[in-house]
Amino acid sequence: MLRFAPSPTGDMHIGNLRVALFNYICSIQRKEPLIIRIEDTDTQRNIEGKDKEILELLALFSIEYQDVIYQSAQLKYHRAMAIQLLHDKKAFNCFCTPAELDVKRELAKKNKQPFRYDETCSHLRAEDTIDNTNPFTIRLRRPDSDITVVDKIKGSITFHSFDIDSFIIMRQEKYPTYNFACAVDDMISDISLVIRGEDHMSNTPKQIAVRDALGYDKSIEYAHLPIILNHEGKKMSKRDDASSVKWLLEEGYLPQAIANYLILMGNKVPKEIFTLSESLEWFTLETLSKSPARFDLEKLKFINREHLKRLDYKELSRYVGFADDEIGALAHLYLEESGTLKELRAKIEPIFSEKSIPSMYQESAQTLKAVIQNAPFFEEYTDFEQHTMKASGLKGRFYFKSLRLLLTGAEHGPEISDIYKYLKNYLAEVVK
Ligand code: GLU
């Protein structure tokens, strides 16, 4: 079983989507189910409705899964496992107060030492604390030996037992900490491979320590994906618009193009333009670069244009807000100069709107407009041109620029004869 474990705490970041895509691809390749685990235990940070939004985005990107689990609903297991660990003396109750711990943390900071728990409570015997009514947390006993994480992308990394620390698994209110909940859930769901962002690398030994302490001996494979950098070479953050999947979609990047780019970025792939289902045939985590991937919006735009070109006219027409094949064909002409749906709509919409004509062509356009409105229907552009040129008495650029402006609202663009081919049935709506 594989899992994608988003937190419903904000807009989906492209890094999360990349993790979701890779989990999906690997689940298909390994013929193992994929589950979605909504990590909603940090109630302060949860944002209402974000879980639904994440699931909608997964559907939009054709990421299929077997089940959705809410981490908060697993609380009974987290508590049961914590009790088990206490019983086995792998965990202990800690009565140190936050204030006491803060003093020690400050001291460590002053001495330029990393703060680690000093084991004050680790030797308390249960019978000695039975009457203690003070609030307490539960800590996992520091593992006896170091833990080596074997990562499919990063290689082997060893974490010292001292650094894994006797960390808190249950807070005073008896809700699990993130690492504990995650470790238990991965165990209960029988996860075989965890693919996630490299910001979780330091959590991994702690999560392994939890499962070791519970006597779980199935080893889970790990792949931590390198971070994504922005064009300045800094970690892509919420401040970068392009980091938000929603923003990219609103800008008019197609889901299939975004998926294509996220699979290609920082990777060695057999071809540049492909669909998610094609990538199932050759994708492998092995070819991913260990170093951070740089996000390049221009490259995404190039890929997006290629995917737009592959849409059939009906689909393209729908994407720009129309229903007819002809408008799709017309939009297709504009793909040379537009890389996103937003740019494309900005070319197509003016065609059906009130035109603003530069003063230089106002008079000629006015004349030509009257001629077009009264002209019979011409199947061929050459006949249309011959008739309207003659009837208007216009020549050269006064004819051609005026015609272009009347048809498209722009001074430049694709060949007018090509445009006519798709607009001839709409002249009454276009030239009004
Ligand atoms: N909820 C974590 C996140 O959104 C993912 C943790 C995991 O995959 O283990 O970053």
Taking CA atoms only, the protein residue closest to ligand 1 atom 3 is 6
Q: Which residues of the chain have pLDDT under 70?
A: none
Cα distances (angstroms) measured from residue 332 to each of 169, 170, 190, 344, 424: 57, 58, 48, 9, 16
Return the pLDDT at 407.
98
Ligand 1: which of 9, 182, 228 to mutate, judged by most atoms within 8 Å of the beta carbon?
Answer: 182
**Domains observed in the chain:** 311-350 (no CATH), 354-432 (1.10.10.350)
How far apart (Å, rounded) are the C-alpha atoms in residues 263 and 39?
24
Ligand 1: which of 18, 191, 193, 200 to mutate, judged by most atoms within 8 Å of the beta carbon?
Answer: 200
Kindly give the number of the ligand 1 atom that is closest to the alpha carbon of 6: 4
Q: Which among 413, 227, 211, 248 has a CA at the least distance from the CA of 331?
A: 413
Q: What is the DSSP string of 237-288?
A: -TTSGGGBHHHHHHTT--HHHHHHHHHHTTS--S-SS--HHHHTTT--GGGS
Taking CA atoms only, the protein residue closest to ligand 1 atom 5 is 5
Return the pLDDT at 129.
82
Return the pLDDT at 34.
98
Q: What is the pTM of this model?
A: 0.94
Q: What is the CA radius of gyration of the chain?
A: 31
Task: Write out the two tokens for 153.
Answer: 């992308």
Task: Write out the two tokens for 361.
Answer: 């062509």
Alpha-carbon dihedral 38, 44, 45, 49, rounded to 10 degrees: 60
How far apart (Å, rounded) are the C-alpha atoms in residues 158 and 189?
26
Phi then psi dihedrals of residue 192, to 5 deg: -105, -30
- Number of C-beta neighbours around residue 276 at 10 A: 20
Return the pLDDT at 246.
96
Return the pLDDT at 128.
81
Owner of token pair 């209960």? 188
E strands, 32-109, where? 34-38, 67-70, 91-94
Phi then psi dihedrals of residue 170, to 5 deg: -130, 130
Q: Distance, CA 327 to ligand 1 centroid (Å)?
A: 43
Return the pLDDT at 85.
98
Interior/surface letters 370-405, b for 16+ CB within 10 angstroms, e for the rest = ebbeebeebeebeebbeebbeebebeeebbebbbbb
Kindly give the number of the ligand 1 atom that is closest to the alpha carbon of 207: 9
With a Cβ cut-off of 6 Å, ligand 1 is lined by 5-7, 39, 182, 196-197, 200
Return the pLDDT at 383.
98
Amino acid at residue number 349: E
Q: For residue 221, count CB atoms less than 10 angstroms from its CB and return exposed for 0-12, middle for 13-18, buried for 19 or more.
A: middle
Contact 396, 358 (CB under 8 A): no
Of how many residues is the chain composed? 432
Kindly give the number of the ligand 1 atom that is closest to the alpha carbon of 37: 1
